[in-house]
Amino acid sequence: MSHHTQSEADATTDEPLLKARGLKQHYPIKEGILRRQTGTVRAVDGVDLDVYPGDTHAIVGESGCGKSTLLETLLGLEEPTAGTISYDGTSIGDLSGSEKRALKSQIQIVFQNPESSLDPRNTIGQIISEPLHLHTEASTQQIDARVVSLLDDVGLGPRYYGRYPHELSGGQQQRVAIARAISLNPSLLLLDEPTSALDVSVQSKILRLLDEIKDEYDLTYVMVTHDLSVVRHFATDVSVMYLGNVIEKASTEALFGDPKHPYTQALISAVPVPDPHHTAENDITLPGTVPEPSDPPAGCRFHPRCPIATEECAEDFPAFESHDRHEVRCIRVPEAEEIGSTEDSAAAGTSSTDRPGLSAAQYEDARQE
Ligand SMILES: Nc1ncnc2c1ncn2[C@@H]1O[C@H](COP(=O)(O)OP(=O)(O)OP(=O)(O)O)[C@@H](O)[C@H]1O
């Protein structure tokens, strides 16, 4: 049964479109011929997320931190081990079967690798029309017309209708995947590294397309990526993940202009910054590698690699502290700010051309310069 009451509907402006609380996705590790459970992979381990209508919310972090698992859990591909997901004010766990099916058309995903996400035996027309056949009552004629218009919206002409995926370039395949994802007019598009399998020159064109269809289709994006330059130019908000948890979240501008968590500072300093004042001395290098999510350290998960950790950091995993809508899980942040060690790199990150939410076209121009 839907719990979407009138008062909740009225409060939509300040309601997140997508909200997760304490979201966990754990996988059992099974070993031996008896397949006994010997441990647990804490792929996602207590994530809170608020994505507001119209946001492009980036989720960033190193490989293995749980980004893809988080996205799959948000999509409903996997039942969460714990926690709740709400969509437009309604908890997904409270929905009936038919309401869940209806919701599925509202949330779509675009994967990293278009080649493996498109069925090679089907034509482009069949691929894009499949969700329309499955979820709508439209006639074949109406669906065909819709597919042609979708092809046009993603910058492919009607001549692609009868072609097969292998006849298309990677960028064209990703356009097809996007056309399919928007075919049912979803509100929320989950983007799992949507450009990282593509050539750099094609990446910016796909970002530009995503930017255009976001306006045209009134979409909200949640994008997983490890490419901070994409985040910087494309996202409006960022959540930084480390070992299954979000450790910092802020607007893109605040995150790049004033990264607070030592991990975020390290991530940002690893991005090549086109700035004459930027020197290697500003870089923070991180000792060690990411621990296994099956055996996370006690206390703050980052403390064994953290340059400013104290003994206290090994005790408790800190809760979020809010610094004017810029939230961070680190007990050392106020002191770190006093040290002022981040000021140079923070200033370097806020030139006027580095505005978050820069259109993809502007981003492309910037890249080509
Ligand atoms: N089905 C599964 N069973 C067991 N462990 C899994 C499963 N899926 C993911 N994991 C583990 O969970 C952790 C998080 O994986 P995930 O793919 O979400 O990370 P990621 O941040 O998306 O990394 P990448 O950028 O490399 O895809 C990894 O240690 C991974 O090995």
Whether the per-residue pLDDT at 37 is higher than 90: the answer is: no
pLDDT range class, residue 279, cuts 50, 70, 90: low
**First-to-final CA distance of the chain:** 54
Contact, 210 vs 204, CB < 8 A?
no
- Taking the CA of residue 68 as reference, the ligand 1 atom at the shortest distance is 22
Are β-strands 237-242 and 188-192 bridged in parallel, bridged antiparallel, or unpaired?
unpaired
Determine which of 93-102, 148-157, 216-225, 329-338 has the lowest per-residue pLDDT on average.
Answer: 329-338
- How large is the ipTM? 0.95
Give the integer Cα–Cα distance in Å for 302 and 289. Answer: 10
Distance 10 CA to ligand 1 centre (A): 38
Residues facing residue 267 across a β-bridge: none
Give me the residue spans of the domains in the chain: 120-185, 253-354
Whether the per-residue pLDDT at 123 is higher than 60: the answer is: yes
Q: What angle do CA 178, 182, 185 make, to 5 degrees?
A: 170
Buried b (16+ CB within 10 A) or exposed e, 64-90: bbbbbbbbbbbbbeeebbebebbbbbb
Are β-strands 188-192 and 220-225 bridged in parallel, bridged antiparallel, or unpaired?
parallel
Give the integer Cα–Cα distance in Å for 304 and 310. Answer: 10
Give the helix ranges, DSSP H, for the chain.
6-10, 67-75, 97-104, 114-117, 124-135, 140-153, 170-182, 200-216, 228-234, 252-257, 262-269, 333-339, 343-348, 360-368
Check residues 3 and 284 and name the one with the higher pLDDT.
Answer: 284
Determine the pLDDT at residue 162: 96
Mean pLDDT of the chain: 85
Q: Model's pTM, two decimal places?
A: 0.85
How far, rounded to the nearest angstrom, does the alpha carbon of residue 166 sit from its chain's CA centroid?
A: 27
* Top-ranked range on mean pLDDT: pick from 146-150, 268-272, 342-346: 146-150
**Best probe residue, ligand 1, of 37, 67, 69, 241 (max atoms within 8 Å of C-beta):** 69
Determine which of 29-33, 57-61, 123-127, 249-253 has the lowest per-residue pLDDT on average.
Answer: 29-33
DSSP per position, 297-326: PSSSTTGGG-TT--GGGGT--PPPEESSS-
Determine the pLDDT at residue 325: 84
**Best probe residue, ligand 1, of 67, 111, 195, 228 (max atoms within 8 Å of C-beta):** 67
- Taking the CA of residue 193 as reference, the ligand 1 atom at the shortest distance is 25
Give the pLDDT confidence of 293-324 residue by residue, as tens digits: 998 999 999 999 998 999 999 999 999 998 88
276: how many CB neighbours lie within 10 A of its CB?
7
How far, rounded to the nearest angstrom, does the alpha carbon of residue 54 sit from its chain's CA centroid?
A: 14
Determine the pLDDT at residue 149: 97
Distances (CA, A) of 130 to 36, 78, 140, 146: 41, 22, 11, 12
Determine the pLDDT at residue 289: 80
Give the integer Cα–Cα distance in Å for 278 and 270. Answer: 12
- Angle, in degrees to the nearest 10, between helices 140-153 and 170-182: 130
Q: Please choose, from the candidates 242, 219, 192, the residue with its C-alpha nearest in 3D space to the C-alpha of residue 65.
A: 242
Are β-strands 237-242 and 220-225 bridged in parallel, bridged antiparallel, or unpaired?
unpaired
Report whether residue 65 contacts ligand 1, using a CB cutoff of 6 Å: yes
Give the pLDDT confidence of 166-186 residue by residue, as tens digits: 999 999 999 999 999 999 999
Give the pLDDT mean for 40-57: 95
Give the pLDDT confidence of 80-101 residue by residue, as tens digits: 999 999 999 889 888 888 888 8
Whether the per-residue pLDDT at 291 is higher than 60: the answer is: yes
Give the integer Cα–Cα distance in Å for 104 and 102. Answer: 5
Distance 279 CA to ligand 1 centre (A): 34
